[in-house]
Amino acid sequence: MAPPAQSKRSASPSQPSGKSEVSDLKSQLRQLAGSRAPGVDDSKRELFKKVISYMTIGIDVSSLFGEMVMCSAASDIVLKKMCYLYVGNYAKGNPDLALLTINFLQRDCKDEDPTIRGLALRSLCSLRVANLVEYLVGPLGSGLKDNNSYVRMVAVIGVLKLYHISGSTCVDADFPVMLKSLMLNDPDTQVVANCLSALQEIWSSEASTSEEASREREALLSKSVVYYFLNRIKEFSEWAQCLVMELVAKYVPSDNNEIFDIMNLLEDRLHHANGAVVLAAIKVFLQLTLSMTDVHQQVYERIKAPLLTLVSSGSPEQSYAVLSHLHLLVTRAPYIFSADYKHFYCQYNEPSYVKKLKLDMLTAVANESNTYEIVTELCEYAANVDIPIARESIRAVGKIALQQYDVNAIVDRLLQFLEMEKDYVTAEALVLVKNLLRKYPQWSHDCIAVVGNISSKNVQEPKAKAALIWMLGEYSQDMHDAPYILENLIENWDEEHSAEVRLHLLTAVMKCFFKRAPETQKALGAALASGLADFHQDVHDRALFYYRLLQYNLSVAEQVVNPPKQAVSVFADTQSSEIKDRIFDEFNSLSVVYQKPSYMFTDKEHRGPFEFSDELGNLSIGTESADTVVPAQIVEANDKDLLLSTDEKEEGRDPSSNGSAYNAPSYDGTASQTQIELAISSPSVPGHALPSSLAIDDLLGLGLQLGAATTPSPPQLKLNQKAVLDPGSFQQKWRQLPISLSQEYSISPQGVAALTSPPALLQHMQGQSIHCIASGGQPPNLKFFFFAQKAEESSTFLVECIINTSSAKAQIKIKSDDQITSQAFSTLFQSALSTFGFP
């Protein structure tokens, strides 16, 4: 009996299809319900199968509920199981009918066969009907005490199911406590593992409202519990071992001996054939040794071979998961893997998701000793039939070129790409040559010779076209034909669909004009006219700006368009190191595959037990202590404000003057997602005496940056003494906001001494209108979360402050919805902290 293979598209529940079959089934089931004829069970089985197969393909068979329940009163276990499956699927939508099943499920929960007891209990808990929870408590209670481990195993998960239907019923019946005692005493490891899963879920979700739950959750990480699990780890199934090791990875051992004991115990897990077990063990190793640099490095060496073995055994899907983690490790410590680069060579039959990761790894591990071979290999892929991969390979060559000191050989290869006469190869190579020239202007001569031979007609992709035009403008004095090629392009202005290209065209023709005015004048006029008539706002505005600039003063215009430039020394990564660390902390989770920390792709309640978090729930809530503090020292705080406003003005300008002295025009919003340019401010460059507000060169490509230089200095900062923020909003904001400042302060010896009583610090800060929302940790590492609000406005400052009492250092991270005053606030915070401990 198979599910019908006809098209399922028409069989969605909203459509009437299948109706006649369903009513047919209904009457047949009715006939059989009361029958005791021999062979009736077989006929019922056939009918049940039909019902389940309809259910699977999405036909709504919920109208058969009554008949199904009547028929399954029989003792045939196959029938029973099919009925359980059916009931579980439809009970939620038919709570009244679900009540019909309670009776026989409850009876089955008392059956003498443990398999039936387990099955019935599982189905009973799967009904997901809120008003039936009262019927669950009894059977669950006896299930947890059942002498058969199968039933207990089912009951433990049943408790979790109950919790999700009605948390209060579950907690009121004291089930979490019973689970805890089962977890620590049950002889069956699957029962124990289920208890751990269930308790982690229950306590994590209770922790935000119940202090006891958050204590219990902490207690799972206590030495005794962790050791209890570790000592039995080999009895657990491979899946439960993963669970246990995930727990151990969060445990903080008290000394190094403990660390080595745990690692020795788990050493052989690295040889497991199941990749999930190996990765879970690796996570433990990495987390435990974070503070021991040498050992941490040895761990990398140790895990290399097992990871590579996992990559090459198993299905492409399995190796992808492992490879993603290898990718993370390689980008973190490329030098450790640089000798293994051959393992990252692509095989022709690998799926492109694997190839992409490998190309990335090849880029990361390239260094002086292996670059030649890696680039040679990558060039082989450039001619690949798989075009996306061919493109990626060329980009990889480019990235390697930008991170190397000796690029001679690579430049030659790139120029060969330009001669390959494949559109996409030429396009990618042009973009690379442009980037390369911005970093190594000394190569311009060789590159320009080759680029000059490329017919602009063969370049269609906007990015590549923009790169070519940039080079035409930038090197117009060396490229004989530059003004004429530009002129040609301008003649076809209307056919150019990409605004990015048109913007570049404007700028390039301006540059060309200042170098070869007689030849370019006509083209410039045409470009400005077309630009002014352009429907695209940015293009229009830039044309107008150039026009007015030229009218105003030619030499100023030249300084704006063609200032002396300094080579870009580093193309920065878009991903901040904070994000990368965050992903590393979430090793062995989806974060690694997506290359994003979990808060970017999950909802809070689904973040799961893997989150390595600075959640407030981990820390004791400090609000009550703050309430009891008398607001004091207001006068002092005000004095500080006055002092502050002077310091402030200087520092406050910093972020904006970072804005750039040099910025090549390649960028508009779409130009690149993988690189942003790190502008180099170069006040010492001779001839660059322009006031900073004018030193913006082609920043116009970015348009909006203009404002940055003229940002008014921030007003003096006053804090609201009675600021309020509930922990929920704090967490939400903390998650959403970027870090505006991250700093390290020293703490006076008096301050350290006073920290023997952390609440004293909270009182002290409260006196400065900086409120503590949560704190925790044990000396020497203390962690505090503070917040403050501006007096007049609603902007809030959030602070994470980690104080190490042995090194007398405080690490501060400030987040704020008002970026501009963050620095001012930081100063305020520091001064508040520095006075701590002085009476």
Q: Which stretch binds other proteins (CB under 8 A): 285-293, 405-413, 587-595, 645-653?
A: 587-595
Of the candidates 674, 699, 666, which has an alpha carbon nearest to the alpha carbon of residue 435? 666
Query: Does position 689 bind other proteins by CB under 8 A?
Result: no
Distance separating alpha carbons of residues 582 and 294, to the nearest angstrom: 22
Q: Which amino acid is at 49?
A: K
Distance separating alpha carbons of residues 217 and 221, to the nearest angstrom: 7
**Torsions phi, psi of 146, nearest 5?**
-55, 150
Distance separating alpha carbons of residues 653 and 467, to the nearest angstrom: 33
Distance separating alpha carbons of residues 625 and 759, to the nearest angstrom: 7
Which of positions 726-765 make contact with other proteins (CB under 8 A)? none
With beta carbons less than 8 A apart as the criterion, state whether 607 and 598 touch: yes
Distance separating alpha carbons of residues 397 and 411, to the nearest angstrom: 10
Q: Which stretch binds other proteins (CB under 8 A): 437-445, 468-476, 586-594, 656-664?
A: 586-594
Before 609, cis peptide (omega within 30)? no
Query: Does position 391 bind other proteins by CB under 8 A?
Result: no
Report, in Å, the least distance between residue 317 CB and other proteins: 4
**Torsions phi, psi of 564, nearest 5?**
-65, 145
3-state secondary structure of 495: helix
Query: Does position 579 bind other proteins by CB under 8 A?
Result: no
Task: Name the β-bridge partners of 816.
Answer: 797
Which of positions 316-335 make contact with other proteins (CB under 8 A)? 316-318, 320-322, 324-325
Q: Report DSSP letters for 691-732, one per residue.
A: -TTTTTGGGGGT-GGGGGGGPPPPPPP-B-TT----HHHHHH
Q: Which stretch binds other proteins (CB under 8 A): 288-296, 363-371, 557-565, 596-604?
A: 596-604
Number of alpha carbons in the 13 Å side-chain half-sphere of residue 428: 25
The residue length of the chain stands at 839
Report, in Å, the least distance between residue 193 CB and other proteins: 8
Which of positions 137-176 make contact with other proteins (CB under 8 A)? 150, 153-154, 157, 160-161, 164
Query: Does position 457 bind other proteins by CB under 8 A?
Result: no
CA 421 to chain centre: 39
Report, in Å, the least distance between residue 141 CB and other proteins: 18
Report, in Å, the least distance between residue 355 CB and other proteins: 8
Distance separating alpha carbons of residues 107 and 84, to the nearest angstrom: 14
Query: Does position 246 bind other proteins by CB under 8 A?
Result: yes
Q: Report DSSP letters for 550-604, one per residue.
A: HHH-HHHHHHHHS--------EEESS-HHHHHHHHHT-SSHHHHHTS-GGGTS-G
Rule CB under 8 A: choose which of 287, 588, 675, 740 binds other proteins: 588
Which of positions 694-723 make contact with other proteins (CB under 8 A)? none
Report, in Å, the least distance between residue 202 CB and other proteins: 12
Report, in Å, the least distance between residue 499 CB and other proteins: 24
Distance separating alpha carbons of residues 665 and 699, to the nearest angstrom: 7
Site track for other proteins across 399-438, x = CB under 8 A = --------------------xxx-----------------
Report, in Å, the least distance between residue 214 CB and other proteins: 20
Give the nearer residue to other proteins in terms of CB position, either 85 or 265: 85
Distance separating alpha carbons of residues 437 and 439, to the nearest angstrom: 5
Query: Does position 52 bind other proteins by CB under 8 A?
Result: yes
What are the tokens at 780?
């020497």
What are the tokens at 813?
């991270």
Distance separating alpha carbons of residues 454 and 426, to the nearest angstrom: 9
With beta carbons less than 8 A apart as the criterion, state whether 164 and 133 touch: no
Distance separating alpha carbons of residues 580 and 599, to the nearest angstrom: 13
CA 633 to chain centre: 43
User: Residue count at the site for other proteins (CB under 8 A)?
Assistant: 100
Report, in Å, the least distance between residue 279 CB and other proteins: 5
Rule CB under 8 A: choose which of 35, 312, 460, 574 binds other proteins: 312
Rule CB under 8 A: choose which of 175, 546, 584, 610 binds other proteins: 610
Query: Does position 338 bind other proteins by CB under 8 A?
Result: no
Query: Does position 265 bind other proteins by CB under 8 A?
Result: no
Give the nearer residue to other proteins in terms of CB position, either 275 or 622: 275
Report, in Å, the least distance between residue 401 CB and other proteins: 20
Query: Does position 613 bind other proteins by CB under 8 A?
Result: no
Report, in Å, the least distance between residue 65 CB and other proteins: 18
Report, in Å, the least distance between residue 297 CB and other proteins: 16
Report, in Å, the least distance between residue 307 CB and other proteins: 9
Which of positions 76-95 make contact with other proteins (CB under 8 A)? 77-78, 81-82, 85, 89, 92
Rule CB under 8 A: choose which of 122, 217, 565, 582 binds other proteins: 122
Query: Does position 250 bind other proteins by CB under 8 A?
Result: no
Give the nearer residue to other proteins in terms of CB position, either 176 or 306: 306
With beta carbons less than 8 A apart as the criterion, state whether 507 and 498 touch: no
Distance separating alpha carbons of residues 320 and 353, to the nearest angstrom: 8
Burial 243-263 (b: 16+ CB within 10 A, else e): bbbbbbbbbeeeeeebbeebb
What are the tokens at 526?
């045409």
Report, in Å, the least distance between residue 562 CB and other proteins: 36
Give the nearer residue to other proteins in terms of CB position, either 301 or 744: 301
Rule CB under 8 A: choose which of 351, 631, 707, 779 binds other proteins: 351
CA 438 to chain centre: 31
Give the nearer residue to other proteins in terms of CB position, either 94 or 781: 94
Report, in Å, the least distance between residue 93 CB and other proteins: 11
Rule CB under 8 A: choose which of 204, 507, 530, 589 binds other proteins: 589
Rule CB under 8 A: choose which of 5, 37, 630, 689 binds other proteins: 5
Report, in Å, the least distance between residue 603 CB and other proteins: 6
Report, in Å, the least distance between residue 165 CB and other proteins: 10
Rule CB under 8 A: choose which of 22, 144, 592, 824 binds other proteins: 592
Which of positions 201-240 make contact with other proteins (CB under 8 A)? 237-240
Which of positions 772-831 make contact with other proteins (CB under 8 A)? none
* Residue written as token pair 């069956």: 188
Which of positions 102-121 make contact with other proteins (CB under 8 A)? 115
Query: Does position 29 bind other proteins by CB under 8 A?
Result: no
**Torsions phi, psi of 403, nearest 5?**
-105, 5
